[in-house]
Amino acid sequence: MMMLSFYQGKVTRFTNWTRKGYAVFNSFKGVVTIGVLPLSYCLLALPMATFAQTDSVAITKNVDVEEVVVNASKKASTYSELTRVVTVLSRDDLGQRSTAPLGELLEQLTAIDIRQRGAHGVQADINLRGGTFDQVLIMLNGVNITDPQTGHHNLNIPINLDAIERIEILQGPGAREFGAGAFAGAINIITKPNERNRGLLSVFGSEYGLMKLNASQNFGNDKIRIFASGSYEKSNGYIDNTDFKTTNFFIHSTYKIKADEVNFFAGFQDKSFGANSFYTPKYPNQFEATRVFLSSLGYQWSKGLFDLNASVYYRKHFDRFELFRSNPPAWYSNHNYHTTDIYGAKFSAARLYRWGKTDAGVELRREEILSNKLGTSLVDSVKVWGENAYYKMGGSRNSLALYATQVFYLSNFAFSTGGQANITNHYGNIYTWGIDLSYGYLSFLKPFASVNRSFRLPTYTDLYYQGASNVGNPNLRAEFATTYEGGIKSQIANLKAELALFYRQGTDIIDWVKQPTETVWTTINYTKLNTRGANFFVQIDLSNFNIYTHKLTLNYSYTESDKVRTEMDSYYVLDNLKHSLAISGYHSAGSLFFNWIARYQDRNGEYLKYIDANTSIPTKYSKFWLVDMRLGYSFRKINIFIDATNMLNQEYVDIANVQQPKRWIGAGLQYRFDI
């Protein structure tokens, strides 16, 4: 327990509060710098004694604390002080599964829907609350890195888990804060240089020729901190044409200027993989190669009750898709090549008052694409770098987002309202808004309610893709939704619990559809799609007791959707997880540690199971349990461990006809050192 005392214009200041301009939690700007608050307190609690007093009366607030990052810029989130469902995965949570790819780890530690086409992070789609993979906004340190070509590339992020300080998952709309794309949710991945000059070397090997090598190092002084990492992994594949190679490089540096801070990060990823039946089972010998470079430079200025943040960012993504990896037929002329460029700049300002807080900001963003498949015809062709091919099509779009949020604290109530105007050159002016309310009458029981409007712009694939079985629609409009949400949060001693119910009314929903008698899928705006569901979370932390079980967690979600139009087959919209359950435990006894995760999935809808070129059978998605485990031993600075995934050896698919790996066992070693 920590005590915060404020008296006679002075503030007791703690030095282990993280002042980052990109963390989600942002309740106490400019005055208090503590280090640790319980998650449920951050999400719902009203700010207490956060202002210096002008009289001689001392005001004291006792707060039980656990580590979270609090002070942050607007673009990550201010939902810490509002009434939303925010899941936070800490460095400790991530460290328990440190060799897992990001998408797989999110699926293991939460009940969200991660649909994988390939193993170990080759390609995975994030789906929240029945939304599609294009309806979730992905951020890295508060920077929107969502790919405008397709959401299939959103997790092409050049980082490893040892670079991540925390991951924050907003389940529900966030468009009034973040703009287009935060339709069903948003995920913010936060990296941070360590305060110690600590390094990590790790190696992991397993069946199917899987090998992972990783090295990272933190270094610097009190003013300058730098984190740098590099990794390489490969596999021969668990079935034919599922081999892959991935190389990552990442750097993140901070420079402190008194109370201000300059942040810079950059990363590069080169990935290639066999894409067995990824987009059509008719041609299983598919192949894909992607490269991504991203960077951002930001500056945070703080003085008293004011906070200003400014940043610029850039992301470049290259994709080469081969329908035939080898021996193409005579009619196959060339591969698909796509390059997207994203340029952005944003500025935000915040002012804290005794009775609330005001946030406002602006973001300018430009998205460009060059392709031989997507866009409109170019006047002059552009050669594909390093390839014997040319881009003959392209496109661009600009957006200017202006947003503002006002928070009020009235007795036991917290009330927030805000909106955003998104000015685009292709879709006109789009407005979103939201209202959030919580009531803190009881310290251990806090009800909340909210209503928010969100939207998404179509991707370039939605608009322009032309293939033998898929045809885009350049006349697509933006899709919209209004989400109503309510629930209750509770924390009693070592027990945390949360229940949320939601109802989303969607209009003009974008989906790939076809008539039952047709063979070609095309994109249209659905008239209406309504989604309802619930999220339940409970965690018991027993680390303070002298027993071997340290932590038990249960995440459950239920989602169901109804569409107005029923005469068409839907490719994505109606095959969300109906029931998703994740139960996990962490145990240790001396130097021995053991963690396990059991997941149950029951997916809505059906798919056309491919039999041969002339036969496909409608098949319901199967229900199944997945169990993953890690057993390890720690001594001094070395960890050795054994990992096993899909212990029950289940046969299953996340996406139609794409077979997932059965049981996969491997072993690894990690060595941490200080310099």
> Residues 272-317: pLDDT tens digits?
999 999 988 989 999 999 999 999 999 999 888 999 999 999 999 9
Find out whether 601 and 579 touch, Cβ atoms under 8 Å.
Answer: yes
* CA 115 remoteness from chain centre: 13
Residue 96's pLDDT is 67
At 249, is the pLDDT very low, low, confident or very high (cuts 50, 70, 90)? very high
Residue 150's pLDDT is 95
Give CA–CA dist 623/448, Å, rounded: 33
In a domain, 47, yes or no: yes
Give CA–CA dist 98/104, Å, rounded: 11
At 612, is the pLDDT very low, low, confident or very high (cuts 50, 70, 90)? confident
Position with higher pLDDT, 605 vs 264: 264
Q: What's the mean per-residue pLDDT of the chain?
A: 84
Position with higher pLDDT, 380 vs 75: 380
Residue 82's pLDDT is 53
- Region 170-196 average pLDDT: 91
**Distance from first CA to last CA of the chain, Å, rounded?**
33
Nearest to 577 by CA among 515, 523, 627, 534: 534
Residue 81's pLDDT is 47
pLDDT of 16 over the 90 cut: no
In a domain, 31, yes or no: no
pLDDT of 13 over the 50 cut: no
pLDDT of 421 over the 60 cut: yes
- Region 307-331 average pLDDT: 95
Find out whether 388 and 379 touch, Cβ atoms under 8 Å.
Answer: no
Residue 464's pLDDT is 94
Model confidence, pTM: 0.86
- Region 221-241 average pLDDT: 95
Position with higher pLDDT, 78 vs 146: 146
- Region 159-173 average pLDDT: 89
pLDDT of 583 over the 50 cut: yes
Residue 58's pLDDT is 29
pLDDT of 70 over the 60 cut: no
3-state DSSP percent of the chain in helix, strand and coil, to 5: 5, 60, 35
Looking up tokens 């490969």 gives 234
Domain count, the chain: 1
Position with higher pLDDT, 612 vs 456: 456
Q: Are strands 185-191 and 136-140 parallel, antiparallel or unpaired?
A: parallel
Residue 469's pLDDT is 76
Find out whether 594 and 604 touch, Cβ atoms under 8 Å.
Answer: no
Nearest to 610 by CA among 283, 323, 281: 281
- Region 65-69 average pLDDT: 31
Single-letter amino acid, residue 392: K
At 111, is the pLDDT very low, low, confident or very high (cuts 50, 70, 90)? confident
Which 3 state secondary structure label does DSSP give 375?
coil
Give CA–CA dist 92/640, Å, rounded: 17
In a domain, 52, yes or no: yes
Q: Are strands 10-11 and 59-63 parallel, antiparallel or unpaired?
A: unpaired
- Region 617-630 average pLDDT: 93
Q: Are strands 549-563 and 528-541 parallel, antiparallel or unpaired?
A: antiparallel
In a domain, 466, yes or no: yes
pLDDT of 333 over the 60 cut: yes
Position with higher pLDDT, 565 vs 393: 393
The per-residue b/e assignment along 161-185, b for 16 or more CB within 10 angstroms, e otherwise, is: bbbbbbbbbbbbbbbbbbbbbbbbb
* H or E element, residue 103: helix 102-109
Percent of the chain at pLDDT exceeding 70 = 85
What is the C-alpha R_g of the chain? 25
In a domain, 20, yes or no: no
Specify the range with the lowest mean pLDDT, choosing from 402-406, 411-415, 516-520. Answer: 516-520
Residue 442's pLDDT is 77
Position with higher pLDDT, 661 vs 27: 661
Position with higher pLDDT, 177 vs 36: 177
Structure tokens at 537: 């979370």
Residue 362 buriedness (CB in 10 A; 0-12 / 13-18 / 19+): middle
pLDDT of 344 over the 90 cut: yes
| Residue 565, domain extent | 39-674
At 37, is the pLDDT very low, low, confident or very high (cuts 50, 70, 90)? very low
Looking up tokens 């806090």 gives 446
At 33, is the pLDDT very low, low, confident or very high (cuts 50, 70, 90)? very low
In a domain, 147, yes or no: yes
Q: Where are the beta strands (DSSP E) in 65-184?
A: 85-90, 113-118, 123-127, 136-140, 143-144, 164-171
Residue 354 buriedness (CB in 10 A; 0-12 / 13-18 / 19+): exposed
pLDDT of 2 over the 50 cut: no
In a domain, 291, yes or no: yes
Single-letter amino acid, residue 167: I
CATH of the domain at 568: 2.40.170.20
At 112, is the pLDDT very low, low, confident or very high (cuts 50, 70, 90)? confident
At 50, is the pLDDT very low, low, confident or very high (cuts 50, 70, 90)? very low
| Helices H / strands E in the chain, number of each | 5, 39
Structure tokens at 42: 């951050």
Residue 602's pLDDT is 95
In a domain, 422, yes or no: yes
